């Protein structure tokens, strides 16, 4: 078996060697041979729902790739309920003795009341009790936690589940059955990667492998730090999908881990011990959330300048390009006094958001004004929470994209159980006529807007 990390040291004193060795022990894990186990499952030949052509190929190719990286691989294709349960039990036992444990699944899955389930090929779903025949993702996460150093959960399974509708019809109480999967927060020492964002569905693909697995196979054997590997996977999927599929990635790891390749550490003889090099992408997610809440060209350009090689760089470029196009297409100051004045006046706005995952649905009224074609709506909360403002310009044809930003209210209405007062932002594609209008939220969750002129 290969070591989790291999490293070289050159040109240093005995004291420098001791410090470097200690640093490598703390941040990279043991230099001795480590034990790696993986469970790889591809389910596509479903009996009671549409078959998927790629999971069997995905599982075969991923298993071979992981074996080349030193993993002992448990592999299953088109597993029935009993076989799937048996293989997950074997994996749970193997994870106890492992330094690194990885679970990969390609196939149908679904969320029910915020719990994610993986679907064996003989699954039926006539009512809620049948979910006991599925494999709970929470149980897999618990099994992974037995590994000593690094745990990885990969779900290429956010396809639209055809059995979900039958469960909705049979439900005898209020339940939440959302699209795709519910978000899983990575426990400490764990990487969680979904093929697309929580609450969304992913493409199965038309080639041998799904778009996500194609990117996974391209990068997983590269001699890069494991966090960078998964960021590169996400970036590739986003680009290859025409910016329509962005994988959900959650990392909670301390230090740097390498599945393949060496990492060089050089210590000068007389120089003081240098601090370990910081992860250049460690703050990227927090900075992106702040930039996205501001929503200006300058904010996105600042994020791209600070984090040019991190997971949100491609998305920042897309936002910058979109804002520049809007600026170029915006009518001149003189033009604003033309046909867009047809919409001037006071408007009532109703925002209606559907339940999504654990987040409850809600309806919210706003008061809007339009002056010289400039739209502004707002609903102010108290104490800096539950605030929402929507702004934009309505051209003569009434077709526009509005920008919304605000702060969250009660956590039960947010997708990720955010604390009250957390900033957020989204855009709305809207169409106005002289006295009415309609709009649709573009990001994160399904929301519709109705505009009525007083």
SS in 3 state form for 36-51?
EEEEEEECCCCCCCCC
Convert the pLDDT of each residue in 155-165 to its tens digit: 988 555 555 55
Tell me the pLDDT of the chain averaged across its residues: 79
Q: Are residues 254 and 324 in the same domain?
A: no
Residues 6+ apart with CB under 8 A from 18: none
Convert the pLDDT of each residue in 56-66 to its tens digit: 999 999 999 99
pLDDT at 255 over 90: no
Domain with 386 in it: what CATH number? Answer: 2.40.128
pLDDT for 68: 94
Quick check: helix, strand or coil at residue 302?
A: helix
Convert the pLDDT of each residue in 289-343 to its tens digit: 777 766 777 778 888 888 888 888 888 888 888 788 776 665 544 433 444 688 8
Are 262 and 210 within 8 A, CB to CB?
A: no
Q: Are residues 113 and 28 in the same domain?
A: yes
Q: Are residues 119 and 216 in the same domain?
A: yes
Q: Are residues 310 and 347 in the same domain?
A: no
Convert the pLDDT of each residue in 221-252 to its tens digit: 999 999 999 999 999 988 888 887 888 888 88
User: For 178-188, what is the mean pLDDT?
Assistant: 74
Convert the pLDDT of each residue in 116-175 to its tens digit: 889 999 988 877 788 888 999 999 999 999 999 999 999 988 555 555 555 554 443 333
In a domain, 441, yes or no: yes
**74/289: higher pLDDT:** 74
Q: Read off the pTM.
A: 0.52
Q: Are residues 261 and 320 in the same domain?
A: no
Tokens 């006539």 sit on residue: 126
In a domain, 192, yes or no: yes
Give the pLDDT band of residue 426 (cuts 50, 70, 90): confident
Domain with 62 in it: what CATH number? Answer: 3.40.50.1460
Rg (CA), the chain: 25
Q: Are residues 225 and 287 in the same domain?
A: no
Q: Are residues 343 and 206 in the same domain?
A: no
Distance between CA 89 and CA 94 in Å, rounded? 9
Give the pLDDT band of residue 29 (cuts 50, 70, 90): very low
Q: What residues make up the domain containing 115?
A: 6-273
Q: Are residues 447 and 312 in the same domain?
A: no
Q: Are residues 14 and 79 in the same domain?
A: yes
Distance between CA 329 and CA 149 in Å, rounded? 53
pLDDT for 204: 57
Quick check: helix, strand or coil at residue 393?
A: strand
Residues 6+ apart with CB under 8 A from 332: none
Handedness of CA 401, 407, 409, 412 (dihedral sign): positive
User: For 181-204, what is the mean pLDDT?
Assistant: 77
Domain-terminating residue out of 255, 273, 291: 273
pLDDT at 188 over 80: yes
Number of domains in the chain: 3
In a domain, 126, yes or no: yes
User: For 262-280, what is the mean pLDDT?
Assistant: 50
Q: Are residues 222 and 311 in the same domain?
A: no
In a domain, 1, yes or no: no
pLDDT for 4: 52
Q: Are residues 120 and 194 in the same domain?
A: yes
Convert the pLDDT of each residue in 369-422 to its tens digit: 998 888 899 988 776 688 888 988 888 889 988 888 888 888 888 877 788 888
**347/329: higher pLDDT:** 347
pLDDT for 207: 79
In a domain, 137, yes or no: yes
Convert the pLDDT of each residue in 76-106 to its tens digit: 999 999 999 999 999 999 999 999 999 999 9
Query: Could you count the other beta carbons within 10 Å of the beta carbon of residue 26?
Result: 11
Q: Are residues 67 and 151 in the same domain?
A: yes
In a domain, 334, yes or no: no
Convert the pLDDT of each residue in 437-446 to its tens digit: 999 998 778 8
In a domain, 143, yes or no: yes
Q: What is the DSSP string of 153-178?
A: EEEE--SPPTTHHHHHHH-SS-----
Domain-terminating residue out of 329, 351, 370: 329
């Amino acid at each position: 078996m290969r070591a989790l990390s291999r490293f070289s040291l050159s040109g240093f004193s005995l004291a420098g060697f001791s410090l470097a060795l200690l640093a490598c022990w703390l941040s990279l894990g043991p230099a001795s041979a480590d034990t790696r186990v993986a469970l790889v499952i591809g389910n596509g030949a479903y009996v009671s729902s549409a078959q998927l052509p790629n999971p069997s190929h995905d599982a075969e190719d991923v298993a071979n790739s992981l074996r080349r990286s030193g993993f002992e691989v448990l592999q299953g294709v088109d597993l029935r309920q009993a076989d799937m349960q048996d293989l997950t039990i074997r994996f749970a036992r193997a994870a106890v003795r492992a330094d690194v444990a990885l679970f990969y699944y390609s196939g149908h899955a679904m969320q029910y009341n915020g719990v994610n389930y993986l679907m064996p090929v003989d699954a039926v779903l006539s009512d809620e009790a049948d979910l006991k025949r599925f494999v709970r993702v929470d149980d897999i996460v618990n099994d992974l936690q037995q590994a000593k150093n690094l745990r990885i959960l990969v779900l290429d399974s956010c396809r639209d589940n055809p059995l979900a509708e039958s469960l909705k019809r049979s439900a005898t109480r209020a339940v939440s059955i959302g699209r795709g999967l519910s978000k899983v927060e990575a426990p400490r020492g764990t990487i969680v990667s979904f093929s697309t964002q929580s609450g969304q569905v992913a493409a199965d693909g038309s080639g041998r492998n799904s778009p996500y697995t194609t990117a996974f196979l391209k990068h997983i054997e590269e001699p890069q730090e494991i966090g960078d590997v998964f960021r590169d996977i996400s970036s590739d999927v986003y680009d290859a999908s025409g910016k329509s599929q962005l994988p959900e990635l959650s990392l909670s790891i301390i230090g740097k881990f390498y599945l393949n390749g060496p990492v060089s550490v050089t210590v000068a003889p007389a120089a003081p011990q240098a601090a370990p090099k910081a992860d250049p992408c460690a703050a990227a997610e927090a900075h992106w959330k702040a930039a996205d809440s501001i929503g200006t060209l300058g904010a996105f350009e600042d994020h791209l300048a600070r984090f040019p090689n991190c997971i949100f760089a491609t998305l920042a470029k897309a936002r910058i390009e979109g804002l520049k196009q809007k600026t170029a297409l915006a009518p001149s100051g003189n033009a604003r006094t033309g046909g867009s004045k047809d919409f001037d006046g006071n408007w009532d706005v109703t925002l209606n958001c559907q339940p999504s995952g654990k987040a409850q649905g809600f309806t919210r009224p706003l008061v809007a004004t339009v002056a010289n074609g400039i739209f502004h709506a707002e609903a102010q909360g108290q104490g800096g929470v539950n605030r929402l403002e929507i702004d934009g310009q309505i051209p003569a044809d009434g077709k526009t994209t509005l920008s919304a930003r605000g702060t969250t209210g009660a956590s039960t209405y947010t997708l990720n159980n955010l604390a009250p007062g957390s900033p957020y932002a989204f855009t709305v594609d809207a169409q106005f006529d002289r006295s009415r209008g309609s709009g649709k939220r573009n990001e994160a969750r399904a929301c519709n807007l109705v505009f009525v002129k007083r």
